[in-house]
Amino acid sequence: MKIVTFGEVMLRLSPPGVERFAQTDTLDMHFGGTEANVAVSLAQFGLQAAHVTRFPDHALGRAASGYLRKYAVDTQHIRYGDGRLGLYFLETGAGSRASRIIYDRVNSAFARIRPDDIDWESILAGASWFHWTGITSALSQGAADCLLAGIQTANRLGVPVSTDIVYRSNLWQYGRTPQEIMPALTAGCTLVLGSKNLFSELYGVVGSTFQESGRALMKRFPNVRYVTDTKRKSISASHNQLSAKLFDGETVYKSRIHDINPITDRIGTGDAYMAGLIYGLLTFNDLQRAIEFGTAASALKHTISGDVNLSTIAEVETLASGDTSGKLKR
């Protein structure tokens, strides 16, 4: 099975351990982006995963591709050109001290992407899934246009589409509002991750519960078959509790609650959930099992440094089945 994802990949720079920016004189490098993170997860689960993006045509852009390839993502559809490499600086917190991100992604090579850079027809041919997020639509008109073309191609080819609609207000600097852009994109989706507040804010779709809100979303966008959301209780920067819900228009499936302590790296844990859920939907004929797989994948991601989940199917299934003991495997 081949999965396609589309979006910006940034160089992440973070002080070692829990050092502060003010202290450090080295930075650890990772690469990540919400959609590429999904691709890496799925590649670890043994699926074919191709990520589509645009990098600057210099040694760091090439290194970003190398990072994805190392984790088994197909990089043949990546384009190279002008613009800079998007960056973000991450300071990892602990206990009562929060992690902090300084974004530095304006004017990236990805933001300069244009629809004719990408040949969706050939990329999506034979694909089993296409995934995008609301970050991409927020970055530039070119990115949003490119995305719309991708979703429409997927729809035409019968490739299921998923989205995490994440809304960050400090993005969206190119003169359009999410309310203008998101509905057309969401209309092509099969699976939508978002909260009822976001559904209300972006689509004017209202419901007093997760279920009602999901039902209203499905009414507005008839392609949507699944609505999902995660719930995180933040006891401290080192200790969280995580669970998820999935609604298929009939039933609300709820995952077990994972007690996550200590947290090694919180970034990309939502993407790990999404990847786990996609894997579950594609592989299991059991929505409860799919959501348990997704939340277990997300829980495991918290123990792994970097943006991407490097867990195997066996590890996820062990945890999904309720074995939290972390016993040494010889």
5-24: contacts with a copy of itself (CB under 8 A): 13, 16-24
C-beta of 66 vs 204, nearer to a copy of itself? 66
Q: How far is the CB of 259 from a copy of itself (least distance, A)?
A: 8
Do 269 and 294 meet the contact criterion of CB atoms below 8 Å apart?
no
Q: Does 27 bind a copy of itself (CB under 8 A)?
A: yes
User: Does an H or E element contain 154, and which?
Assistant: helix 141-157
C-beta of 16 vs 204, nearer to a copy of itself? 16
The single residue listed with the structure tokens 């003010």 is 22
C-beta of 97 vs 176, nearer to a copy of itself? 97
Pairing mode of beta strands 2-6, 129-133: parallel
Q: Does 295 bind a copy of itself (CB under 8 A)?
A: no
- Would you state the structure tokens that stand for residue 125, as one six-digit string? 């041919």
C-beta of 91 vs 146, nearer to a copy of itself? 91
Query: How many Å apart are CA 58 and CA 99, to the nearest integer?
Result: 30
If DSSP codes are grouped into helix, strand and coil, which group holds residue 221? coil
Specify whether the backbone of 121 is left (phi greater than 0), alpha (psi in -120 to 50) or beta: alpha
Window 255-284: residues binding a copy of itself (CB under 8 A): 258, 260-264, 266-267
C-beta of 219 vs 233, nearer to a copy of itself? 233
Window 167-186: residues binding a copy of itself (CB under 8 A): 168, 170
Window 221-250: residues binding a copy of itself (CB under 8 A): 234-239
Q: How far is the CB of 248 from a copy of itself (least distance, A)?
A: 27
Among 55, 281, 302, 307, binds a copy of itself (CB under 8 A): 302
Window 94-133: residues binding a copy of itself (CB under 8 A): 94-104, 106-107
Q: Does 140 bind a copy of itself (CB under 8 A)?
A: no
C-beta of 10 vs 154, nearer to a copy of itself? 10
Window 46-65: residues binding a copy of itself (CB under 8 A): 58-60, 62-63
Size of the site for a copy of itself (CB under 8 A): 81
C-beta of 173 vs 251, nearer to a copy of itself? 173
CA dihedral 29, 34, 39, 44 (to 10 degrees): 60
Among 2, 200, 305, 313, binds a copy of itself (CB under 8 A): 305
Rounded to 5 degrees, what angle do the CA atoms 10, 15, 16 make? 115
Q: How far is the CB of 168 from a copy of itself (least distance, A)?
A: 7
Do 241 and 210 meet the contact criterion of CB atoms below 8 Å apart?
no
C-beta of 213 vs 238, nearer to a copy of itself? 238
Q: How far is the CB of 193 from a copy of itself (least distance, A)?
A: 18
Query: How many Å apart are CA 108 and CA 102, to the nearest integer?
Result: 15
Q: Using H for helix, E for strand and C for coil, what is the string for 262-319?
A: CCCCCCCHHHHHHHHHHHHHHHCCCHHHHHHHHHHHHHHHCCCCCCCCCCCHHHHHHH
Window 70-89: residues binding a copy of itself (CB under 8 A): 70-72, 84-85, 87, 89
Give which of 299, 275, 297, 278 is closest to 287, Cα–Cα: 278
